Amino acid sequence: MKTGDKISSKNASWSFRGRVFKNFDKHISRSVPLYNECQNLFLILSDYFLLENSRVIDIGCSTGVFLKKLFFRHKNNEKKIRFEGYDTVKEMIDYCKKNFKEKNVKFIKRSALKTDLSKACIISSFYTMQFIPTDQRQILVNKIFKNLKWGGAFFMVEKVRASDARFQDILNQHYIDYKLQNNYSSEEIISKSRSLKSVLVPFSTKGNIDMLKRAGFLDIITVFKYGSFEGFLAIK
């Protein structure tokens, strides 16, 4: 099935593997509203959470765009910060390593669940939690809270479910209209939706906030919201 931007997938089998990396940035910019603006918002917010001798970690870094932006914004900072991107997709990590070779930036193929996240001042996750199995999601958020430095922040951006069926229907229809306006065909929209079954499982706003609270976060705020997409800032 063709899902747009020269990316194909099968029913209930969406994957970021293979040659997806070649068209990933174009695809996500076209299919996720205000994707670049949301990244730039969190880029500015990062100024408030830089701590001495710490790490900035991007979970599900894909092609490394956000981590690169963070590095260039703070590369002259004297707080001895290391920048690390993690992804489980080999092709994505290979692409990052090939195209970005700064000394203090590392891209590593590894699940965040199996990664040492200690001494992090910022951990970011852009549209990644929604792809993690629901029985492992809370475990990862618990680990993020435990390993963040006090005063550090977790940036989490997700697709979210609405609070009831009527709102969910409205937001679904809005998102279809958005994709049509961006010149995706009806066939591509349906194919993408079919490919994501059981792969992308979003929580509601309340579900995400409750997950953050169970992990230990008390200071949580929505800093970005557009239709079905929401960005949370959680401070330890």
Percent of the chain with pLDDT over 90: 75
**For the residues 109-130, what does the mean pLDDT come to?**
96
- In whole angstroms, what is the distance from residue 235 CA to residue 153 CA? 4
Residues 69-74, mean pLDDT to the nearest whole number: 96
Q: What is the pLDDT of residue 51?
A: 96
Q: What is the pLDDT of residues 211-223, one digit of tens each?
A: 999 999 999 999 9
Contact between 232 and 179 (Cβ < 8 Å): no
Mean pLDDT across the chain, nearest whole number? 90
Of the candidates 80, 84, 102, which has an alpha carbon nearest to the alpha carbon of residue 93?
A: 84
Q: Which residue has the higher pLDDT, 24 or 198?
A: 24
Q: What is the pLDDT of residues 129-172, one digit of tens each?
A: 999 999 999 999 999 999 999 999 999 999 999 999 999 999 99
Per-residue 3-state assignment (H helix, E strand, C coil) for 128-195: CHHHCCHHHHHHHHHHHHHHEEEEEEEEEEEECECCCHHHHHHHHHHHHHHHHHCCCCHHHHHHHHHH
Per-residue confidence at 199, pLDDT binned at 50, 70, 90? confident
Q: What does the pLDDT read at residue 24?
A: 76
pTM of the model: 0.92
Confidence band for 195, pLDDT divided at 50, 70 and 90 = confident
User: pLDDT tens digits, residue range 35-58?
Assistant: 999 999 999 999 999 999 999 999
Domain ranges of the chain: 32-161+202-235
pLDDT tens-digit profile of 2-22? 545 455 545 544 455 566 556
Q: Report pLDDT for 126.
A: 97
Cα 177 from chain centroid? 23
Average pLDDT for 98-123 = 94
Segment 64-87 shows an average pLDDT of: 94
What is the reported pLDDT for 16? 57
Average pLDDT, integer, range 179-197 = 85
What CATH code is assigned to 32-161+202-235? 3.40.50.150
Angle, helices 205-215 vs 134-147, to 10°: value is 50
- How far, in Å, CA of 84 to CA of 117, rounded? 10
Provide mean pLDDT across the span 113-138.
96
Are the C-beta atoms of 2 and 187 separated by less than 8 Å? yes
For the cut 70, the answer to whether the pLDDT of residue 82 exceeds it is yes
